[in-house]
Amino acid sequence: EDQVTQSPEALRLQEGESSSLNCSYTVSGLRGLFWYRQDPGKGPEFLFTLYSAGEEKEKERLKATLTKKESFLHITAPKPEDSATYLCAVRMSGTSYGKLTFGQGTILTVHP
């Protein structure tokens, strides 16, 4: 069965304390792995797309990496405004473009 699992469920960091979020997936064919950020009461906001193992993408304090089994979202020197739920999702081969399978998310809290 195709699955996307994120860990940890929640993460508390001090401002400036770097860490990583994990997204492991078991899918029959990957056509893209996506990272989204979701603030309370809002819809998910797109961060990155990764298509193949070894690929990396960066944006400000965030860096996403991809292997054949998992993806990591590295947060360097986080700030309180980075507090949000981070969602990982996959698009599988043989399915339609608008269907993503999401993980349960990691709730990140950054304390000043």
- Number of neighbouring beta carbons within 10 Å of residue 19: 15
Site for another protein in 19-78 (CB under 8 A): 31-32, 34, 36, 41-46, 49
Total chain residues near another protein (CB under 8 A): 25
What whole-number distance in Å separates Cα of residue 37 and Cα of residue 99? 18
Please report, to the nearest 10 degrees, the dihedral formed by the alpha carbons of residues 27, 75, 46, 64 taken in order. -40
- Tell the smallest beta-carbon distance from residue 46 to another protein (Å): 4
Residue with Cβ nearer another protein (67 or 104): 104
Stretch that binds another protein, among 18-26, 59-67, 75-83, 90-98 (CB under 8 A): 90-98
Our finding on whether 2 is near another protein (CB under 8 A) is no
Q: Report which DSSP code applies to 104.
A: -
What whole-number distance in Å separates Cα of residue 18 and Cα of residue 5? 21
Query: Which residues form the interface with another protein (CB under 8 A)?
Result: 31-32, 34, 36, 41-46, 49, 87, 89, 91, 95-105
